[in-house]
Amino acid sequence: MLRRLPHLTIIIPASLCLMWGGLLWSRALLSLSMVVFIASSLLSESLSEKLSRMRSSPFHLSMALLFLIPFASGLWSEDLRYWVKVMQDKTPLLLIPFCAGSLTAIPPATRRHLVRLALVMLCLSMAMALGRYLWNAETVSEAYLKAKVMRVDMGSDHIRYAWMLAAVEAWLLHVLLEDGRRLDGWERKAGWVVVASIAAFLHLLASKTGLLALYICLGMAALYHRRRPAMRWAVLAMAVLPWLAWLSLPTFRNRLRFILWDFQHYSRGGYTEGLSDTPRMLSLEAAEDLIQASPWLGTGFGDLRGAMSDWYFQHAAFMKPYEHLLPSNETVLHATAAGIPLGIAFLAASLLPLLQKAHRLSYGCMAFHAIAFLGMQYEVGLETQYGVFIYTVMGCWGHMALAAQTPILPSQT
């Protein structure tokens, strides 16, 4: 349990709050507050307690493996400077599991306030993005026909932003559907308002990965709670929401038109600078060639970006440097950088949380990991600081609550 040292019981919750604010608005604040959180949490328990919890949690062990795979590839990476940069972003995959005990050891009243504050900041972030869109709605909507999207927080990383929103949606639906009796009446109503707001905003943002994740959340909620009469309305909402979004949201409508045009354009062999699907498909072609050249060890994570750029210059010289993407699939990326055996190890580690019986009984855990796994088959979610934070901190919060048999949002008493 968390040692009741005053400075730790204050610093850990404060650092969590600052981490969430940093995630939304300041990468520097996110880095600094994460360092403070890790350092404080490491002082809160003995090493034996941390190792015991680590060994007992398949999710924590899988995260450590996700760190060790790129770490090991440093042995055969020539560009150690870039490898160090990669490992800096991935370090929380190793350290956050050691700190997870401090998440549920925080006093229940404090945890409740942290969740409330996080949701308030998230709603403020969505409101700011909505305000920027409404200020110039026509121009922004037209930009959706040219592979652009509205500006959001998190450094305007709309892909990871949409992933974060969907992850919040999953955990919030878990609270409302499985622990709703612990909430006050006004909290339940506010929670459903936030759920509806996230769903509406994801349709307005119209990120492909975000919409896929949202419908995974809703579909799994309807499946897990299918015996509830209200779930019939949830299924109806899933059918009606795309139609309503098409009628009422120009961004959603234009995004679908662009996706269809982009697919047809690429399938005919066309290329236009700035589009999204062509660079993704070419990144997988590049990965295939690099894997064939070095199937057992790969390029090494330190040399992956350089090897990809060399391939683009040789086989796709018409592309601009900013279009030189890493392999647009985490499993393929790890096989390219670390070899096929370690690529398979990555796939096993990312699937492991979905295969645990205790996790399968929890809608929140299954929805969170289904979103993460399917998203990683289309994007490189763990190659950015934002993605690592979402997977580690948000994942560990829910998993520790499940392991301790305490609610994500505890009662006030």
Give 278-296 pLDDT, tens digit per residue. 788 899 999 999 999 999 9
pLDDT for 405 beyond 60: no
- Give yes or no for residue 407 having a pLDDT over 70: no
Task: Supply the pLDDT for residue 135.
Answer: 96
> Average per-residue pLDDT in the chain?
89
% of the chain at pLDDT higher than 70: 93
Distance between CA atoms of residues 142 and 54, nearest Å: 49
Which residue in 288, 262, 171, 163 sits closest to 213, CA to CA? 163
Sign of torsion, CA 127 132 138 143? Answer: negative
Task: Give the separation between CA 218 and CA 222, rounded to whole angstroms.
Answer: 6
Question: What is the rounded distance in angstroms from the CA atom of residue 275 to the CA atom of residue 258?
Answer: 10
228-247 residue pLDDT tens: 887 777 788 888 999 999 99
**Is the four-CA dihedral 1, 352, 390, 384 of positive or negative sign?**
positive
- Closest by CA to 109, choosing from 29, 15, 207, 182, is 182
Task: List % helix, strand, coil for the chain (3-state, nearest 5).
Answer: 80, 0, 20
Long-range contacts from 401-407, C-beta under 8 angstroms, 24+ separation? 401/103, 401/104, 402/358, 402/359, 402/362, 402/364, 402/365, 403/56, 403/57, 403/104, 403/358, 404/104, 406/104, 406/108, 407/175, 407/179, 407/182
Reported pTM: 0.93
Around Cβ 396, how many Cβ atoms within 10 Å? Answer: 24
| DSSP type of residue 76 | G
Say whether pLDDT at 54 is over 80.
Answer: no
- Kindly state the tokens that stand for 347: 């796939």
Render pLDDT for 77-112 as a digit per residue (tens, 0 to 9).
Answer: 999 999 999 999 999 999 998 888 788 778 888 888
**pLDDT at residue 1 is higher than 50:** no
Mean pLDDT of 68-78: 95
More confidently predicted of 28 and 235? 28
- Can you tell me the distance from the alpha carbon of 329 to that of 340, in angstroms, rounded to the nearest whole number? 14
Say which residue the tokens 């040789």 belong to. Answer: 314
The pLDDT-based confidence of 408 (bands split at 50, 70, 90) is low
Structural contact between residues 191 and 183, judged by C-beta atoms closer than 8 angstroms:
yes
Give the number of other CB atoms < 10 A from CB of residue 243: 9
